[in-house]
A and B are shown apart, each in its own frame.
Chain A
Amino acid sequence: MTENAPIVRFEHVSVRFPSALANDDVSLAIRRGEAFALVGENGAGKTTLMNVLYGLVRPALGTVIIKGEKISQRHDPMRAIAMGVGMVHQHFKLVPSFTVAQNIALGSEPVKNLVFYDQKRLNREVLALSKRFGLPVNPGDVVDDLSVGLQQRVEILKALHRGADILVLDEPTAVLSPAETDELFEVLRSIVREQSMTVILITHKLHEVMQFSDRVGVMKQGRLVGIVNTSETDEKQLAAMMVGRELLFRDLRAGEPSDREVLTISGLRAMDDRGLEAVKGIDLKLHAGEIVGVCGVEGNGQTELTECIMGIRPQTGGTVTLNGRNISRLKPREIRGMGVSFIPSDRMRTGLSAEATVMENMLVGKQRQTEFRRFGVQFRKRRATSYAKALSEQFDVRSGGVDLPMKSLSGGNMQKAIIAREFSFDTPVLIINQPTRGVDIGAIEFIHEKILQKRAAGCAILLVSADLDELFRLSDRLVTLYEGRLTGSFVNGEITRQEISYYMTGGRQEVRA
């Protein structure tokens, strides 16, 4: 085999789900040692195509040739790994209670005297591996205690440990902070250049594509609509190829916040799931018609803060007041009744039910409205279904039908379904955590417009995001969160990104929000 022969070749791959043609006659050759980026709208079939390579999905037609060898009828992840394919999924698959080393070696643990599991040797091996690829980890750490960025590093090492030389990463940067993202790309680049690995990257962030890849493949509705050399294209052209139209990304003018205080948080304290204090006394005011953006590196208390407001997580101190009423001790149901909606960052666990249907997911919270009830007991399923269909249309949620389980949707469409549900309550307060994670650029534009419409309608909005661009585009006011405390409060437009980054990483400003 010559150096330039393709290492992976998809030949006329089609994948049909009962609801949709997820891949439609895709032919694609990936060259050995290249950094290939795969982009496309939500539901375009990117994840599905990579799942075919990794043996999680079997194509209805066509085949894949890995290093000159056709995948077998019984291709599965074990075989894929043996052929050198490693995949880092969007939702990690680590054992939380195991150490870093144990996770990395899962299934291939070194053995001593034929019987005993050799912990020392394992740690040594993992250390050597992490040094070789420039991915520092501490083999003895328990995975549960690691940040998302570190967990991802473990996932990558796990793939490398099994001898992968084709590394697939499905939206790896969606969960990372900007600094972590830069670090990741540095490592990936060195892996590609120095170890001549092949990397396939799925992402929605076009600047990452430009920064990192040699070639880009664009998918649209299951088809591969184009492959271009990164050096010969730009973000605008890629976006147009993906969405089929020019994106506007208009400059969004700030709203006109009123003086009416809607939500007041004072001295709020709360614990995280491990029982450590994660919110350490937060004071924050939210006015009608205002978007307050919370900047911070993930894991500094954002999730706990938002869950406390919604009543999902018990508070250990302080109060939350809504329109003058203390809601600190109320249940989510009561808080919703008083006019708060919530988009959680933790989509799979809190924001939706994977097994329930799209309709059921979209209707939760409205099932007791008279519109969806007959005789006060009966659920009007047909009405609910047509309602869910209309809502899907309105928010461009692409599913194969609203009576399919939620888990059959692509990642971005799940997110749109959650947003559709929460926005449809028409509440005066919105708590939004990571609204556009894993969402394609066309949909981001759409979601941003929706958020601004809400503000124009006089909603008070708390917006948490790991994406500074998003915060700067939408917010009227910005606050920085570091280790469970607010370290600064600024009017958007009067501060630069550099300054914000300083406060996000522990710098302090003595101003009350």
Chain B
Amino acid sequence: MSRLRILPALKALIAIKPKQKLTAQYLLSLFIAIVLAFLVGAGIMLLCGYDPIECYAALFRGALGKPRAFGNTLAKTATLCLTGLAMSVAAKAGIFNVGGEGQLYFGGLAAAVVGARLAGAPAWVIVVCALLAAVFAGGLYAWVPGILKVKLKVNEVVTTILLNSAAIYFCSYLTNGPLKTAERGISSGTDSIAVSFSPIIRLSNLNGSIWIAFAAALIIWYLMTRSTAGFEMKITGANERFAKYGGIRADRLMIAGMVISGMLCGLVGMIEVFGIHKRFITNLSAGYYFDGMLVAMIMRYQPFGVIVMSFFFAILTIGGSAMELSAGISGEVILIVQAVIIFFMAAEGGIRQSLRVWSAKRRVKRTHAKEAGV
């Protein structure tokens, strides 16, 4: 299934720097946006001559109906959630990592190389070493734009976007050149790794890596919402000048946020390699990080919200392709629904405004009625 390509929109969203609080009002308008998006989707289905109820039923069945489908949805949730948290942890500290794709690629490549070279070692040694290598590679590649931002005031959005392409092309060169496997039938990829995660549900993408993802998400959630460092990051992200004045090491925290973000992306790369492809391939990610970024921005970088929204987006993605098969409607419709949700999120301010006008009107009416009654 093709994927949302909305980098320009993302950049615009970053530029307006979404507010950091999830308020009840925001959640309400989010809910309204989702309902509206589904209605628009239904309208499109009707226009194309499909029964929307049947289509949506197929969608949810396709995402949650069978164990295998559910496994795929969970695996997708893990990817979205890790990338979404990666975006959030940096953004909370006031630095925007748009370079997650590059960090993911380097993480995946490092894991694949370690996984292949360590053949013969005990499985757990391989997994742990690959994990460390992936996290290190991703973190290091994020450290570069972080240090450039803090020391030289180079805009991190620009550098991370550029570093994405650099990483993807460099990995592509390596897998087609020095690291190209000798195995037959593989056009561009590294040697296959010695051990890999076994599926938890047969024939699904859900495998042992889910536990690692779960642990990582938990740690990030704790870091962001419960720790002293998280508190300091939040202050830094909200007003860097104030943070410095207040004696917080803002520079350090921003770099830390970026590096942790990169480490998470590296981890996603490792999970892709060890869980699915069993080697590094040139198209390791189809824009996974950008999907995660979207989720993060919609949920205003709140870790718990990101986790929940990841599940919802995973249902849309996995269910969308199932719907394509069973109801015969093009999966593009689901892309439209996603786009409409994002669109309504961008218009969230407007929705909230009309909510307020509406409730004000009602209040006025009510008091008039009361006065008339008295």
Bound: A403/B235 CA distance, A: 14
Beyond contacts A355-B239, A367-B231, A377-B229: 20 other A-B pairs, Cβ-Cβ < 8 A, are: A58-B360, A60-B360, A61-B363, A61-B364, A73-B361, A73-B364, A310-B245, A312-B245, A332-B247, A333-B247, A336-B247, A342-B245, A350-B242, A352-B239, A353-B238, A354-B238, A356-B235, A378-B226, A379-B227, A379-B230
Q: Are A351 and B242 in contact (CB under 8 A)?
A: yes
Main SS at interface, chain B: helix
**Least distance between A236 CB and chain B CB atoms (Å):** 39
Q: How many residues of B contact A (CB 8 A)?
A: 30
Chain B CB within 8 A of A24 CB: no
Closest residue on chain A to residue B228 by CB atoms: A379
* Given contacts A350-B242, A355-B20, A405-B21, A364 and B228 within 8 Å (CB-CB): no
**Number of chain A interface residues as a range:** 35 or more
Q: B226-257 CB contact bits vs A (8 Å, 1 = yes)?
A: 11111110110011011111111100000000
Cβ-closest chain B residue relative to A372: B228
Task: State which of A73, A333, A360, A379 has its C-beta within 8 Å of the C-beta of B357.
Answer: A73
B238→A356 contact, CB < 8 A: yes
**A355 to B21, Cβ gap below 8 A?**
yes
Structural contact, B235 and A73, CB atoms closer than 8 A:
no
**A365 interface contact, C-beta 8 A:** yes
The answer for the CA separation of A233 and B282 in the assembled complex, in Å, is: 83
Q: Return B88 CB to nearest CB of chain A, in Å.
A: 16
Contacts of A355 in B (CB 8 A): 19-21, 238-239
Contact B238 A379 (CB under 8 A): no
- Determine if B117 is an interface residue (Cβ-Cβ < 8 Å): no
CA distance A368 to B228 in the complex (A): 7
Interface presence of A337 (CB below 8 A): yes
- Convert B202-246 into 0s and 1s, putting 1 for each residue whose CB lies closer than 8 angstroms to a CB of A: 000000000000000000000000111111101100110111111
What is the distance, in angstroms, from B124's C-beta to the closest C-beta of chain A?
Answer: 27
Chain B: which residue is nearest A334 at the CB level? B247
- For A131-171 the 0/1 string (1 means CB < 8 A from B) is 00000000000000000000000000000000000000000
Inside 8 A of B226's CB, which chain A residues have their CB?
A: 378-379, 381
Ordered nearest first, which 6 A-B pairs have the shortest CB separation? A364-B246, A333-B247, A353-B239, A353-B238, A336-B247, A355-B238
A350 touches B241 (CB 8 A): yes
Give me 21 A-to-B residue pairs in the complex whose CB atoms sit less than 8 angstroms apart, sorted by A's number. A60-B360, A61-B367, A73-B364, A310-B245, A312-B241, A332-B247, A336-B247, A349-B241, A350-B241, A353-B235, A353-B243, A354-B238, A355-B21, A360-B231, A364-B242, A364-B248, A378-B226, A378-B227, A378-B228, A379-B230, A381-B226
A222 CB–B CB distance under 8 Å: no
Residue of A74, A344, A353 contacting most chain B CB atoms (<10 Å): A353
Partner of B248, one of A333, A337, A344, A405: A333
Interface presence of B356 (CB below 8 A): yes
CA distance A332 to B246 in the complex (A): 7
Residue of B nearest to A405 (CB): B21
A360 to B244 alpha-carbon distance, docked (Å): 14
A205 at the interface (CB under 8 A from B): no
